[in-house]
């Protein structure tokens, strides 16, 4: 692919805000016609622009996905689909013991199965155009911190699915690329922090006795992590590179933290990683807990 594009279609899911919205704008500015997936009509009006066409996509809704495929098939200008950016996601952080199974299932439905469903629906078009699947993973797809079991579990699985898909589709001329962001200043991160805070209040008193300090430390760390993260617009530049590069890498990281952590995960023993992650989390514990 080149960046001097005549009109071609690109799908970006989760384009209401954050990295998805920034990626849709960036790709639109490069000459693509972007089908920007949003969940509400109010979001649609906010993102609509000359090269951005909002489409209602809840990636857990089969009817929405069927409508998306029909939109691509019936494009009035017969434009090819050059790429799908599977970006939609949610963050639900809580200890493995305390997170209800329905919340585990919700996390996997959105962050894994929804992406698979969208990919299955659009692969016939990508095969015709020799296009590209770009899956937005996370540094959490390489390292699973405490309370990130559900989120990282889905992201680890997305990494494995992407590796398998890349090997399946290579003979067909369809490329599969992973993007692994670290700290990025997005609304999703803020919503994840809010959900974690709400979850602490929903815990039983015995659960708070065991996990309350850990949850507060993780929340404090996430706030600090996000403040020092890159902007959504900078993250969008990396995603756009993954979409448009003629010979893309199999994986791109976003932010120096992601680049460092993904490398450490490859070379360090588990116990060493345990000590590093514990040391990084320690300053974020409530003072009383840290002194115990």
Per-residue confidence (pLDDT) for residue 3, from 0 to 100? 43
* 252 is annotated as an active-site residue: no
CA dist list (Å): 5 to 28, 124, 183: 10, 21, 31
Q: Which fold has domain 9-184+231-255?
A: Rossmann fold (3.40.50)
Q: Is the pLDDT of residue 2 over 50?
A: no
- pLDDT band per the 50, 70, 90 thresholds, residue 289: low
Q: Is the pLDDT of residue 275 over 60?
A: yes
Identify the residue whose tokens are 């003979």. 171
Cα–Cα distance for residue pair 5/169, rounded to 1 Å: 24
Task: Show me where the domains of the chain are located.
Answer: 9-184+231-255
Tell me the pairing of strands 33-38 and 9-12.
Answer: parallel
The residue from 148, 151, 211, 252 that is catalytic is 151
3-state secondary structure 151-219: HHHHHHHHHHHHHHHHHHHHHHCCEEEEEEECCEECHHHHHHHHHHHHHHHHCCHHHHHHHHHHHHHHH
Average pLDDT, the chain: 92
Which residues fall within 8 angstroms of residue 17, CB to CB, at 6 or more apart?
A: 43, 186, 187, 188
106, 154 in Cβ contact below 8 A? no
| pTM score of the predicted model | 0.91
Q: Which two tokens stand for residue 49?
A: 């622009």
- Nearest 5 degrees, angle CA 217-CA 269-CA 256? 60
Per-residue confidence (pLDDT) for residue 190, from 0 to 100? 66
In tens, the pLDDT along 146-197 reads: 999 999 999 999 999 999 999 999 999 999 999 999 888 766 666 777 888 8
Cα–Cα distance for residue pair 121/70, rounded to 1 Å: 10
Question: Which region, left, alpha or beta, applies to residue 15 given φ > 0 means left and ψ of -120 to 50 means alpha?
Answer: alpha
Q: Is the dihedral of CA 219, 220, 225, 231 positive or negative?
A: positive
In tens, the pLDDT along 23-78 reads: 999 999 999 999 999 999 989 989 999 899 999 999 999 999 999 999 999 999 99
Distance, C-alpha 291 to centroid of its chain: 36
Per-residue confidence (pLDDT) for residue 195, from 0 to 100? 80
Among 210, 212, 182, 186, CA closest to 197: 212
Q: Is the pLDDT of residue 226 over 80?
A: no
**Helix (H/G/I), strand (E/B), else coil: 139:** helix
């Amino acid at each position: 692919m080149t960046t001097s594009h005549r009109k071609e279609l690109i799908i970006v899911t989760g384009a209401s805000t954050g990295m998805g919205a920034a990626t849709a704008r960036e790709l639109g500015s490069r000459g693509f016609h972007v089908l920007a997936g949003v969940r509400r009509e109010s979001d649609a009006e906010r993102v609509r622009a000359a090269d951005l066409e909002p489409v209602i996509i809840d990636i857990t809704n089969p009817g929405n996905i069927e409508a998306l495929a029909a939109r691509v098939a019936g494009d009035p200008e017969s434009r090819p689909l050059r790429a799908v950016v599977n970006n939609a996601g949610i963050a639900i952080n809580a200890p493995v013991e305390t997170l209800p199974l329905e919340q585990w299932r919700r996390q996997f439905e959105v962050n894994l199965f929804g992406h698979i469903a969208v990919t299955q629906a659009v692969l016939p078009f990508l095969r015709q155009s020799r296009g590209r699947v770009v899956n937005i993973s996370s540094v959490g797809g390489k390292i699973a911190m405490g309370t990130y079991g559900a989120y990282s579990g889905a992201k680890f699985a997305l990494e494995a699915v992407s590796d398998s898909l890349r090997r399946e589709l290579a003979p067909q001329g369809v490329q599969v690329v992973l993007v692994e962001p670290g700290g990025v200043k997005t609304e999703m991160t803020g919503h994840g922090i809010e959900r974690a805070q709400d979850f602490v209040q929903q815990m039983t008193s015995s659960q708070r006795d065991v996990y309350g300090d850990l949850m507060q430390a993780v929340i404090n760390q996430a706030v600090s992590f996000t403040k020092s993260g890159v902007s959504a617009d900078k993250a969008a530049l990396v995603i756009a590179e993954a979409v448009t590069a003629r010979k893309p890498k199999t994986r791109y990281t976003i932010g120096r933290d992601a680049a460092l952590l993904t490398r450490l995960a490859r070379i360090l023993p588990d116990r060493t990683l345990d000590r590093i992650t514990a040391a990084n989390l320690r300053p974020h514990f409530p003072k009383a807990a840290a002194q115990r």
